[in-house]
Amino acid sequence: MTSPATDTPAELLRLRASIDNIDAALVHLLAERFKCTQQVGELKARSGMPPADPAREEAQIERLRALADAAGLDPQFAEKFLAFIIEEVIRHHEALAGRGPAPS
């Protein structure tokens, strides 16, 4: 059945609404994650720790790849996604440590 106003199939509208809800949840989850990583960055800066932790990053990548594989998601995609997030977190941590520009 189609929606009379748009001639868009109801099933497509339902799926798009689900996607919109998932996107909103992702944004909120990312915001919550960055609140936590901001606190980590502040702690590292106070403690004189380096902004990046390559061993932790590698462990997180491996963990996320395994989670992605178990969930039926391409592990390479999950790794790229996490790498993007880690890059942004490190940028924030460098700024907190006075080693880089403030994040926008």
More reliable by pLDDT, 7 or 3 = 7
Question: What number is the average pLDDT over the span 77-92?
Answer: 94
And the tokens for 19?
Answer: 């996607």
> pLDDT digits over 10-53, tens only?
999 999 999 999 999 999 999 999 999 999 999 999 999 999 99
- The confidence score (pLDDT) of residue 63 equals 96
- The confidence score (pLDDT) of residue 54 equals 95
CATH number for the domain whose boundaries are 10-96: 1.20.59.10
Interhelix angle 75-96/10-47, nearest 10 degrees: 40
Secondary structure of 39-70 in HEC code, one letter for each residue = HHHHHHHHHCCCCCCHHHHHHHHHHHHHHHHH
Domain boundaries, the chain: 10-96
Q: What pTM value is reported for the model?
A: 0.79
